[in-house]
Amino acid sequence: MALNDVSARLTKASRFAFIILVCVFLYGTPLPTPENILGEIKRHIPIQESLPRPTPWQETYAGYTYTFHPHASYEISGLVVSLHHSDSFIDISHAHDPAQTMDLCVVWGKNISSGAYQEVSYSHGDFTCFYRWEGPTIPDFRPDQIGNTHLIPTTPEIARIIKSVQVGDQVTMRGTLADYRITHPTYGEVGSRHTSLVRTDTGNGACEILLVESLAILKHNVPWRTPLMLVCLTVILTSLVLRIIAFYRAKRPVMGTLTGKPHAENPYNISSFLAKRGLLPKRHHSHSTPSRMEHIDRPTNASPPPSPD
């Protein structure tokens, strides 16, 4: 199949894929209904235990030295209602904080069992999870059963699992709540952050900082959403690449047959190139009489010329 035919077919498919992506983006990710949420999420209460003799320690991430001050072990399960990739290139707020990879905003307990989590909408900033509702009626939503947790993975495998979490997933995670201070050989002391140790606080400083030792996705929300988006993006990018290739192929000059004769279609024929620009010397054609030897086609039975008298 010719490249142009493949490109034309992929162009039609890419338009359809683009429409799908727009619809998915505008529709967003719907949260699961209460009957699709696990019982342990509905009944869950976070478990926190103070460490008896907390000892600070240091670790290095991408050239930055972190000094951690642990406070308590922490375990929480909940429904992910919003998230933020802290290591995204568009998040300049964490440019000097490479250890933190994601914020997970989760709800649990009565916010799930009462269905109140469906009556509010959620959004995320670089550091904060927001929830709001519309209308005069205040929903029965408990602010002490929603939490935004800053995640610092302790192993590459945990970091990979964290990356795979999507809005609407039901997760459980365990680790250590800790404060930390960041220093750098060039920038000096970059900053410090402090973890929340209660669920009743709000506003700045109300987020938990968790050094994640384990994280599991108990139930995926829309398992087909991410593969569908990847397929659509692949079709669109492939169509774009083929269109670019076809464009440059159409612009490329066609090679003519290299023969001794001038070929007007051949851009590599030097004589044709110079002649079009009047750079070749003019040729003068002579009209000399052919010699006797050239008339070899004379009849053999011709009579000889008469002898002189």
Q: How confident is the model over 52-65, as pLDDT tens digits? A: 988 999 999 999 99
Question: What local confidence, expressed as pLDDT, does residue 296 receive?
Answer: 47
Residue 224 is given by DSSP the state T
Q: List, for residues 38-49, the tens digit of each pLDDT value.
A: 998 999 999 999
CB atoms within 10 A of CB 162: 21
Mean pLDDT lowest among 6-10, 22-26, 243-247? 22-26
Residue 17 burial (10 A CB sphere; 0-12, 13-18, 19+): buried
| 38 touches 218 (CB < 8 A) | yes
Structure tokens at 163: 């990356």
Q: pTM to 2 decimals? A: 0.66
- Rounded to the nearest integer, the mean pLDDT of the chain is 81
Helix (H/G/I), strand (E/B), else coil: 58? strand
Q: Is beta strand 121-124 parallel, antiparallel or unpaired with respect to 146-153?
A: unpaired
The residue length of the chain stands at: 309
Task: Answer for the pair 123, 130: CB distance below 8 angstroms, yes or no.
Answer: yes
Please choose, from the candidates 83, 75, 69, 70, the residue with its C-alpha nearest in 3D space to the C-alpha of residue 31.
Answer: 83
Distance linking the first and last C-alpha atoms of the chain: 89
pLDDT value, residue 93: 79
pLDDT > 70 in the chain, percent: 70
How far apart are the C-alpha atoms of 97 and 95, rounded to whole Å? 6
Buried b (16+ CB within 10 A) or exposed e, 173-199: bbbbbbebbbeeeeeeeeeebebbeeb
pLDDT beyond 60 at 149: yes
pLDDT-based confidence at 26, cuts 50/70/90? low
Point out which residues pair with 151 in neighbouring strands.
Answer: 102, 210
Residue 282 confidence (pLDDT) above 90: no
Stated as kind and residue range, the H or E segment containing 177 is strand 170-184
Q: Tell me the pLDDT band of 230, cut-offs 50, 70 and 90.
A: confident
Mean pLDDT, rounded, for 140-157 = 94
Mean pLDDT of 207-227: 86
pLDDT digits 0-9 by tens, 100-148: 999 999 999 999 999 999 999 999 888 889 999 988 888 889 999 999 9
Cα(234)–Cα(10) distance, integer angstroms:
11
